[in-house]
């Protein structure tokens, strides 16, 4: 038996389903959790970025409030900010729905400047925002200003490999204001963070599943949130892979090779 035959014979694969199973609508969240997001057992929003009841969390570019809701569930007080009034309202509603949540504040703002007091936050979250703004340096200066000495920061932006794919296939508006204004190389993001005065503690990547989903989404030519057989088959393929014994190992290798996002965890000097 050849080497490849031995490898394929190592494990009996499950039979193909007679009819297509329904894709798991939570597979994106499950994929994120496997990479290090949302761990209630140790209180980490992401690996190395713990949230507790003593924290004041400023979520800049809060979107619909997924991160904010987790932080509120950990007992933190929230400061919400986003350029979209609808996003701020959605995030506030998610925080307000957490039993026993602390009082929170919310701001509709373009972040230049942020209407938040100096040294207000012990944790600052800014995910998928810096690629949108006119001046990354001014945004980072504002993030540093609102953090207390010793505050921890979680900053993400699209990974350059993923953006290079979108550059070829996404509609022109994807790279026009108010959407993405720049592709940010890994080392450039790190340099910006350090030049702003923060100390980098860790760097991560994640999101191969999402890279492929968005790549296929443009070809499907359907409104966001609409089902399509291509997207359903991709989701089902990915959830089947993750259930295999070596599925998580494969997932992490692909997250490293072609990530959707790059992440920096940093700290403001005390």
Which pLDDT value is given to residue 7?
A: 45
Structural domain containing residue 126: 41-208+259-267
Q: Is residue 151 part of a domain?
A: yes
Number of domains the chain contains: 1
Predicted local confidence at residue 209, as pLDDT: 98
Residue 106 counted as domain residue: yes
Inside any domain, residue 203: yes
pLDDT of residue 4: 47
Contact 270, 147 (CB under 8 A): no
Q: What pLDDT, on a 0 to 100 scale, did the predictor assign at position 12?
A: 52
Q: What is the mean pLDDT of each run of 10 residues along the chain (270 residues)?
A: 48 52 90 94 96 98 97 98 98 98 97 97 98 98 98 98 96 95 98 98 98 96 93 96 96 98 98
Which residues does 238 contact at the CB level (< 8 Å), separation at least 6? 27, 31, 209, 212
What is the pLDDT at residue 19? Answer: 53
Query: Measured between alpha carbons, how far is 169 from 9 in angstroms, rounded to an integer?
Result: 38
Distance of alpha carbon 112 from alpha carbon 90, whole angstroms: 22
CATH code at position 103: 3.40.50.150
Establish if 167 belongs to a structural domain.
Answer: yes
Of 34, 38, 45, 73, give the one whose Cα is nearest residue 152. Answer: 45
Among 255, 265, 164, 253, CA closest to 207: 255
């Amino acid at each position: 038996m050849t080497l490849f035959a031995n490898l394929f014979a190592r494990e009996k694969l499950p039979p193909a389903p007679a009819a297509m199973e329904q894709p798991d609508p939570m597979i994106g969240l499950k994929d994120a959790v496997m990479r290090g997001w949302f761990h209630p057992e140790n209180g980490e929003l992401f690996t190395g970025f713990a949230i507790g009841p003593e924290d004041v969390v400023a979520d800049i570019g809060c979107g619909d409030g997924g991160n904010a809701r987790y932080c509120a569930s950990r007992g933190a007080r929230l400061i919400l900010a986003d350029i979209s009034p609808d996003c701020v309202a959605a995030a506030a509603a998610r925080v307000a729905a957490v039993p026993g949540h602390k009082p929170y504040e919310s701001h509709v703002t373009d972040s230049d400047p942020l209407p938040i007091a100096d040294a207000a936050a012990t944790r600052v979250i800014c995910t998928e925002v810096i690629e949108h703004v006119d001046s990354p340096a001014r945004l980072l200066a504002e993030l540093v200003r609102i953090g207390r000495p010793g505050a921890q920061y979680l900053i993400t932006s699209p990974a350059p490999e993923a953006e290079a794919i979108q550059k070829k296939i996404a509609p022109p508006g994807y790279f026009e204001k108010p959407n993405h204004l720049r592709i940010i190389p890994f080392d450039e993001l790190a340099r910006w963070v350090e030049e702003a005065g923060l100390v980098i503690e860790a760097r991560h990547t994640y999101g191969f599943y999402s890279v492929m989903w968005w790549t296929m989404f443009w070809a499907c030519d359907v409104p966001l949130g609409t089902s399509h057989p291509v997207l359903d088959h991709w989701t089902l393929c990915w959830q089947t892979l993750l259930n295999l014994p070596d599925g998580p190992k494969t997932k992490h290798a692909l997250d490293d090779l072609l990530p959707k996002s790059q992440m920096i965890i940093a700290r403001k000097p005390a």
